[in-house]
Amino acid sequence: MVDVDGVDRVVDLAPYGVVSVEAALGDPAARAAADRAVAAANDGDPLLAGLALEAPVRPGKLVCLGYNYRGHVPDGVDPTTDDPEFPDVFVKTPNTLGGPHDPVVVPAASLDVDYEGEIAVVIGRRASNVPLEDALGCVGGYTILNDVSDRAWQRRQSQWAMGKCFDGFAPLGPWVTTPDEVGDPQDLLVEVVRDGVVTVSQSTATTIFSVAYVVHHVSRVMTLEPGDVISTGTPQKLPEAAEAHRPLAPGDAVTVRIERLGMLTTRFIAPEPAAHASKGLA
């Protein structure tokens, strides 16, 4: 994306030999090609506003964290007292991936659909057993994930997969912002807006596990590949929003906005009638 005379436009990197975002993120030659493309941008390039964007990467692995932000604590209380020793990690399956303009179907079988606004770390180069001090060097960029979850399905058993893995429950985007444009990933305000009301507003300064730690930690178990995504968990809802919890329904929209990463607005819609007809199945 490039600003041409105050208008956001998009440059095509294919003529510059860049074939995929996943391969480009960790590749200095691709970065140089992108810089050349941006320098050559002009008002003949397509308008960003006119494009229907797909998910900016197709992650081979979409790994997520639970409970990674500290809640508010009273004055004088050490906020780290109840910190867990290890991050709680779960997986979303590939059928969950959605683009930034894709609506989310409220599934026929769903019971209590909720949102989670999160910073998603996009891996830029292969990482296995990466030391903590080298971990940020494996990050290719950052984007936004709405970790859509069905709370009732999530709580039916010990593992959360059935609440997390409905088709389309991972809208991602709108784009990947590279680390040089993000700066310190532990100094970003994460906000969620539902029905015009801010329901989440908390800085990544209050995460329990930093981006660097999470990349290091996960890479001890699984080899991370370019394009893989680790989503870093959602902040708590503000108390009044938590009290006013209402499952997402067709017609609702949720916006996640994160400093320097943009905004991800997701509309929720009803299933097609054919799918709806099977709702009554045991």
SS (H, E, C) the chain: CEEECCEEECCCCHHHCCCCHHHHCCCHHHHHHHHHHHHCCCCCCCEHHHCCCCCCCCCCCEEEEECCECCCCCCCCCCCCCCCCCCEEEEECHHHEECCCCCEECCCCCCCEECCEEEEEEECCCECCCCHHHHHHHEEEEEEEECCEEHHHHHCCCCCHHHHCCCCCEEEEEEEECHHHHCCCCCCEEEEEECCEEEEEEEHHHECCCHHHHHHHHHCCCCECCCCEEECCCCCCCHHHHHCCCCCCCCCEEEEEECCCEEEEEEEECCCHHHHHHHHCC
Among 48, 66, 201, 206, binds its own copies (CB under 8 A): 66
Neighbours of 206 (CB within 10 A): 16
Q: Per-residue x/- marks for its own copies, 128-167, CB under 8 A?
A: xx-xx--------------------x--xxxxxxx--xxx
- Residue 61 binds its own copies, judged by CB under 8 A: yes
Residues 162-181 touching its own copies, rule: CB under 8 A, are 162, 165-167
Residues 82-101 touching its own copies, rule: CB under 8 A, are 84-96
CB of 226 to its own copies, least distance (A): 13
Nearest CB to its own copies, comparing residues 149 and 199: 149
Place of tokens 């960003």: 48
- Residue 259 binds its own copies, judged by CB under 8 A: no
Nearest CB to its own copies, comparing residues 91 and 241: 91
CB of 197 to its own copies, least distance (A): 29
Q: Per-residue x/- marks for its own copies, 185-214, CB under 8 A?
A: ------------------------------
Is 88 within 8 Å of 50 (Cβ atoms)? no
Nearest CB to its own copies, comparing residues 90 and 115: 90
Using the contact rule CB under 8 A, the part of the chain among 13-21, 49-57, 80-88, 98-106 near its own copies is 80-88
Using the contact rule CB under 8 A, the part of the chain among 20-28, 31-39, 103-111, 232-240 near its own copies is 103-111
Asked if residue 100 has a cis previous peptide bond (ω within 30° of 0), the answer is: no
- Residue 27 binds its own copies, judged by CB under 8 A: no
Nearest CB to its own copies, comparing residues 78 and 85: 85
Q: Per-residue x/- marks for its own copies, 31-60, CB under 8 A?
A: -----------------------------x
Nearest CB to its own copies, comparing residues 236 and 265: 236
Total binding residues for its own copies by CB under 8 A? 46
Residues lying near its own copies in the complex (CB under 8 A) are found at 60-61, 63, 66, 84-96, 107-109, 128-129, 131-132, 153, 156-162, 165-167, 216, 218, 220-223, 225, 275, 278, 281-282
